[in-house]
Structure 1
């Protein structure tokens, strides 16, 4: 059901603050295999990212973040909003990996927010989709294929930047690569969430300092260096 009060408030924010926006959709795997340390670190990393978005003078008024979680189904944890207004609940792990459903929801939220930008005349930067998963998708294959096609079309049209992240030794990097046609997925161990979100915060800040319409300026060398860090012995 559409919450018209929330929708109108969001439009008013765009009118009151016409700063060009950087929409960032975090699409995060919270399936059962993320239980324990991984989900705790993921929660801490996401909270750290939001804190850094609030503390940076450029990103405080330009970056809008939405967070989608996926397990046995997909859920909108928070719709697009400035970091200082987001009350992030603690995500819990459980269920299977409905990746396609999560990506479809994240893309739907992005399309809705872009429509709001256009309706109010607010410029925006190329949207960023961050996809993080520690396993292989096992939801509806039709939805997965639909999500894959949408992502590939948007990336091919230079209308979306995807950062795909495989977590831990069982991440399906081949599948993640199909959602990231322009750059290979990064492979992290479960204890690197805070480092990754620190990198993401800096990358988003770089984007907000560029011109609207420019492709996201990602420090891929720094990301590759993070990937190259040794894995903990207990995950080998």
Structure 2
């Protein structure tokens, strides 16, 4: 990591002029006072101390700041997370952008964004990491919270996050909590929502009457 150090003054032209006038007036008065004392060394030392105090006050009046800037040796990282959960197989995205066209699955709609070549323009300034999240695994649901919360540990120089998802989650804490923590660390989260804006209808089985017997190898009709 490279470090750059510098001293900066935040004074305005007005404060600089006032500071110069203050130092000049003090210098004249100190010389006059020393001359009246017959140029005695003790009085000269006292006037030098007075000049030093005035110069110190003038410096503080112009708001000096010592700045240390640490620049990492490697480019910052942008994490592109794309949802690979089962809900992305829902076919509700118009193929040609119109409501009456053929429908594509959500995963098909984001396929171009999951290709690292789609982010090649950013490679010259930053490191782009494209990775799937919430992959379908037996016994596991969709956990968007942990996928976001663990990013600062994986990438020390994380600049931002792009989340491509339908927003469905059924495991872990709400994703907004992880996004809020990232925001407090000055790591913005940019979302690319995918899927229909209209919620799909759900089917609920309210009652079921199963037959009392069945025949092996034969279909059973459930009324």
Normalised by the size of structure 1, how large is the TM-score? 0.38
Higher share of residues assigned helix: 1
Higher share of residues assigned strand: 2
Structure ranking higher on relative contact order (CA contacts 8 Å, 6+ apart): 1
Normalised by the size of structure 2, how large is the TM-score? 0.40
Which structure has the larger Rg?
A: 2
